Structure 1
Amino acid sequence: MTNASRLRHGRVVIPAAFLAELDWRDGDQIVWTARDGELVAITRRAQLRRAQQRFQQSVAKTAPSLSQELIADRRRTAHAV
């Protein structure tokens, strides 16, 4: 998809088609980065989703649940006191 907008008074309008395609919503926090002469924008929500995907890829499917390990450890500690 390609579209053009004009910069006016330091502001630019993001076309609705892009907002829909990116699933950007009112109230989303946008993180802006200048990279190699281009402006890159991502929502905090998308950053979190990307981080979760990377984490899931790095953890083996057969690995024990970290949350379950933490709960078991807390229970052992509570019973030891």
Structure 2
Amino acid sequence: MDATLVLGQQGRLVIPAEVRSALGLAPGDRLHLHLSGRRLVLERQQDAAAELRGLAAGVPGSRSLVEELLAERRQAAAGE
């Protein structure tokens, strides 16, 4: 589905009714916006959170990404 949006004077966008309906959006829903290169990506917050959980699903519970990051930072700082 494609739609054309017009940016209003105060930077507001109106999402067309057929797009809101297709996505199940209702007034008051919160959306997440991020930049991908020069593109704007707008998605429901629960979809963004589900995608992040999916990315982390392959990380074993015994692995600490925080500890790995700290170790990398310590190693980089020691090399300076």
Q: TM-score, normalised by structure 1?
A: 0.54
In structure 1, the residue corresponding to 2:7 is in which secondary structure? coil
Note the C-alpha offset of 1:48.
3.5
Does structure 1 retain, via aligned residues, the 8 Å contact 2:30–2:45? Answer: yes
Provide, for residues 9-62 of structure 1, a one-character-per-residue CA deviation record: whole Å limited to 9, x for no partner: 111211011111112222221111011111101112222443555677x5xxxx
User: Which one-letter code corresponds to 1:28 in the other structure?
Assistant: D
Q: Unaligned stretches of 5+ in structure 1?
A: 59-81
Q: TM-score, normalised by structure 2?
A: 0.55
| Aligned-pair Cα RMSD in Å | 2.3
Flag the 1:33–1:18 CA change in 2: closer, same or farther, 3 A. Answer: same
Runs of 4+ in 1 over 2 A off after TM superposition: 47-56
Q: Unaligned stretches of 5+ in structure 2?
A: 59-80
CA distance in 1, matches of 2:48, 2:35: 16
Flag the 1:51–1:34 CA change in 2: closer, same or farther, 3 A. Answer: closer
User: Which one-letter code corresponds to 2:3 in the other structure?
Assistant: N
Aligned to 1:7: 7
Percent identical residues: 23
